[in-house]
Amino acid sequence: MKKIAVIGAGAAGCFCAAELRRRLPEAAVDVFEAGPKPLAKVAVTGGGRCNLTNSFEGIRSLAEAYPRGERLMKRLLRVFSQEDTWHWFESAGVPLVLQEDHCVFPQSQDAMDIVRALLRRMEGVNLRLRTPVSSVIPGPSRTLFVDGEPYDAVVVTTGGAPKGLPLLDGLALEWVPTVPSLFTFTIRDEGLRSLMGLVADASVSIPGSTFKADGPLLITDWGLSGPAVLKLSAYAARYLHENGYKAPLSVNWLALNEADTREILQETAAVNPRKQVSNTPPAGLQARLWGHLVHRPGIRPDIRWAELGSKGMNRLVSILTQDTYSIEGKTKFREEFVTCGGVALSNVDPSTLESKKYPGLYFAGEVLDIDAITGGFNLQAAWTTGFTVAQSIAEK
């Protein structure tokens, strides 16, 4: 009987264990988990609804979804894709729904349905909770020792590991330093924060860099959040870390270029020449936000569109397309927080995710230097890499 150890009972580890159980029913599969519950993060992700994958519609290049690891994911998604994920969970008794934003959720909107489906498929696996692993050591004849216990294969799925991975300290593996990704921005502008709860479809960028993201932007009591900010934090994760999470932030409130923005403002002025600028927001902007934006470049609150002039129009175009604030730090949503970095992809065979130096040692999930923007892409990476490893072990 073959013995297989899976270290970490998160999404990748449990999915891998479920597939190992299906493919190798006679094997002894042990899943080690330091915490008291399996799939704890899955249970709370997506606000407790579990955005388990994405249709990938609107993703022109995989790098848009995976700032790190896009080449490997492009290869592995041919093995286990988002469509395969949909089929896997529906065949496990979880009907799924596709939202307009291309995110996929359980029809019940309950993450526990995903947790229960995985645990059902893991029946027969030895789940060893509250059992942290301190070392993985290679032995003779491809044997690997997990805290002194011999195994034929070991799968490391310990997640983001923000403090590194001490259990692998004795192995010659390249480790990419981990830094946070998917966090929100602290901005200490009282005028902006007074608009707490307001959502706008906008574009955000970091001036002087190539980092840019589009999508819903949420104003909070601490600054800015929403998909646009979370995406930008993923793209610029290392840049922001290197700069102490302090940087300028430019907001394009209509996500349009200057010419199109000017045209919208001119149309508004033509229709409302005798109305006050501050009381007549252009199409696509909420009145509260417009009032804040008009105030920022020093436009008189009582000025009418017919009195605005070219200089005033230029100021409005500038504030709508390049409204600049200062990022003063990061915050995070506990359920969305991930890290970039981890086991360098050069350490593993890209077809099997087996270590090139240590036969029988595999890696899956966030412990690898793969991470994604919000929207179900990180969980898809977990399912895909977990499946790849299980298939590779079974074929051997």
One-character DSSP codes across 64-86:
HH-SBSHHHHHHHTTTS-HHHHH
Nearest to 185 by CA among 150, 140, 232: 232
Three state DSSP letters for 319-334: HHHCEEEEECEEEECC
Could you report the per-residue pLDDT of 43-69, keeping only the tens digit for each? 999 889 999 999 999 899 999 999 999
Q: What are the residue boundaries of the structural domains of the chain, listed by start? A: 3-179+335-395, 183-332
Whether pLDDT at 130 is above 80: yes
Tell me the pLDDT band of 193, cut-offs 50, 70 and 90: very high
The answer to which of 12-16, 128-132, 160-164, 247-251 has the lowest mean pLDDT is: 160-164
- 338 versus 386: the higher-pLDDT residue is 386
Whether pLDDT at 333 is above 70: no
Give the chain's largest Cα–Cα span: 86
Residue appearing with tokens 């981990």:
178
Could you report the per-residue pLDDT of 232-266, keeping only the tens digit for each? 999 999 999 999 999 999 999 999 999 999 999 99
Q: In angstroms, rounded to a whole number, what is the distance separating the alpha carbons of residues 87 and 76?
A: 17
Residue appearing with tokens 């696996």:
125
Whether the CB-CB separation of 266 and 313 falls below 8 Å is answered with yes
Tell me the pLDDT band of 335, cut-offs 50, 70 and 90: very low
- Domain 3-179+335-395 sits in CATH at 3.50.50.60
Three state DSSP letters for 171-200: CCCCEEEEEEECEEEECCCHHHHCCCCCEE
Q: How many angstroms separate the Cα of 150 from the Cα of each of 4, 274, 348, 383?
A: 9, 83, 22, 26
Nearest to 236 by CA among 192, 197, 276, 181: 181
Partnered with residue 325 across adjacent β-strands are 249
Burial class (CB within 10 angstroms; exposed 0-12, middle 13-18, buried 19+) of 279: middle
Tell me the pLDDT band of 332, cut-offs 50, 70 and 90: low
Whether pLDDT at 330 is above 80: yes
The alpha carbon of residue 22 and the mean position of all alpha carbons in its chain are separated, in whole angstroms, by 29
The alpha carbon of residue 188 and the mean position of all alpha carbons in its chain are separated, in whole angstroms, by 25
Residue appearing with tokens 């490893």:
389
Could you report the per-residue pLDDT of 349-390, keeping only the tens digit for each? 999 999 999 999 999 999 999 999 999 999 999 999 999 999
Length of the chain counted residue by residue = 396
